Amino acid sequence: MACRGGCTAECRSYVALSELRKEFGQLWRSCWGHKQPAEAFNAWLFEALSLEEPQGPLPTSTEADSEAVLTWVTLQIPFQWPYTEDVTEAEVNFKSFLEALKCPAAHWPGISAQLVDDMALKLEGQTAVESEDQATALRSAALRAFRPLLRSTLEEQLKNFLRQLDVALQTIHQKLAAEIGEVTDVSVDVEETAKMVRLELRGSLPESMEGKLPRRHEIHAEHWQKLKRLYKEDLKDFPEKCWMLLMRYRALFGPHDEGAGWHMALTPSVFEALQQELKVTHELFASPLNCTLPSYCSLFKDTDAAFGSSGSFFHFGKSLPAPGSFECNPPFEDGLMLKAVNCILQSLHQEVKPLSIALILPIWPGSPAMISALKSSFCRGSIEIRGSSHCYLNGRQHYCKPNHMLLCQAEARGSLLVVLQNSAGTQLWPLTSAALQRLQDAWQPAKRQKTEKAAQTKAFESEKALSPKAALAPERI
């Protein structure tokens, strides 16, 4: 099928984001003296895009500050914390961290010994509490306690890094603007088999793009059919829009799929339980490729709206539609999680009509988002998911091998499901101890195996007649 410019524009965006990712890595090494952590770029990108309604994969500009960059920098500077579960090793690492704080180095100006020692004394009482994961708790407590000092000490270097990154970003934007007039003759060919669908871009691209991007994408046949069910526009454009969607998320994942972890999702059996117990109708962080419900928010409205997306949560969530019951599984990055929780709590405070949010967060010691949610007056209950129950759908679920579809992280610290409701929400969707237990059971391996396929089909069948707006706020229709 012939494209009308959208595919070529998406190719340009792919190349532009790849260039920005490369620039980010080079700047990181020159500014901080280390290879960038695998997830640092995506953490910054999600943070930057959350500040605007993205019309492409690139932010408009770079802010003068970045919580995400600071987080990843302080895992390397002034001390690169090695991971350990051994408390004795963690205590040795903590002492090394304190010494590194005091000693100036190539990319670290140093902090006065008195300030470091005073903060260490204050920290002693906070880290003496017994914990299942005391080694990790010690590292987390230290980094959080020293973060203000780390921020003030690295402030100028951080600003310099972000200034240089913005120069690179604006150069890429200018290059994109200069290429807009280039005309190409390309089309999307579709090859369907019983299990997979292959979409390939045919035709000539500008020389500046040739060899720099993937032309072919594969998607499971069942996901192809799901996208057709979600699709809201003229079906003759479906192959082109689908190819553009796959290209966008391929660009987001990165050349080694390092960003796919940000795209993991709850299993259909958990969603089935959320629908049964809390009447959840909308996902606040999803995409057309990983959503279970037909009503959802996603990062890229320009490519995703054709498949029913309500756009970015950080715009949609400024005032959550009520009455409404939502699932919220934000990217597991401290700054983004806290921002999401603050948006939710603000909506709960302002809205008198029923609101309910099933919030999923990682169990990270000292996480501000987790603490804020659990201590909120809107918290109606919570469950912890650990061990063999701690599983998510692969962020590459739409094309990965079937035996890689489910990612079980038995050794990880676990996840937390918190139910937040205003008073009207509690009356409409009461959270009983039996309901909490059924939500807990939905994560169990036996339950998953029994209900996975049926649950996802049921989610679409039960709501396919409703528009996202109708599903969210029936009283307004």
Give me the tens of pLDDT residue by residue for the chain, a chain 477 residues long: 557 678 999 999 999 999 999 999 999 999 999 999 989 999 999 999 988 888 889 999 998 899 999 999 999 999 998 888 899 999 999 999 999 999 999 999 999 999 999 999 888 765 544 455 788 888 889 999 999 999 999 999 999 999 999 999 999 999 998 887 666 789 999 999 999 999 999 998 888 888 899 999 999 999 999 999 999 999 999 999 999 999 999 999 998 888 898 999 999 999 999 999 999 999 999 999 999 999 999 999 999 999 999 999 999 988 899 999 999 999 999 999 999 999 999 999 999 999 999 999 999 988 999 999 999 999 999 999 998 889 999 999 999 999 999 998 767 779 999 999 999 999 999 999 999 999 999 998 755 544 554 444 454 444 443 333 333 332 222
Count of Cβ atoms closer than 10 Å to residue 177 Cβ = 9
Residue 2's pLDDT is: 56
Domain with CATH 3.40.50 in the chain: 262-476
DSSP state of 289: T
Assigned fold of 262-476 = Rossmann fold (3.40.50)
How would you label 76-97 residue by residue, b for 16+ Cβ within 10 Å and e otherwise? bbbbebeeeeeeeebeebbeeb
Q: Where are the alpha helices (DSSP H) in 218-288?
A: 221-230, 238-253, 268-278
The residue whose two tokens read 């320009």 is 302
Q: What is the pTM of this model?
A: 0.89
Residue 122's pLDDT is: 85
Q: What does the alpha-carbon distance between residue 24 and residue 161 come to, in Å, rounded to a whole number?
A: 9
Residue 464's pLDDT is: 43
Residue 53's pLDDT is: 81
Residue 249 half-sphere exposure toward CB, CA atoms < 13 A: 28
Angle between helices 334-350 and 368-375 (to 10 degrees): 20
List residues bridging with 265 in a β-sheet.
Answer: 393
Nearest partner of 42 among 251, 191, 184, judged by Cα: 251
H/E stretch holding 355: strand 355-362
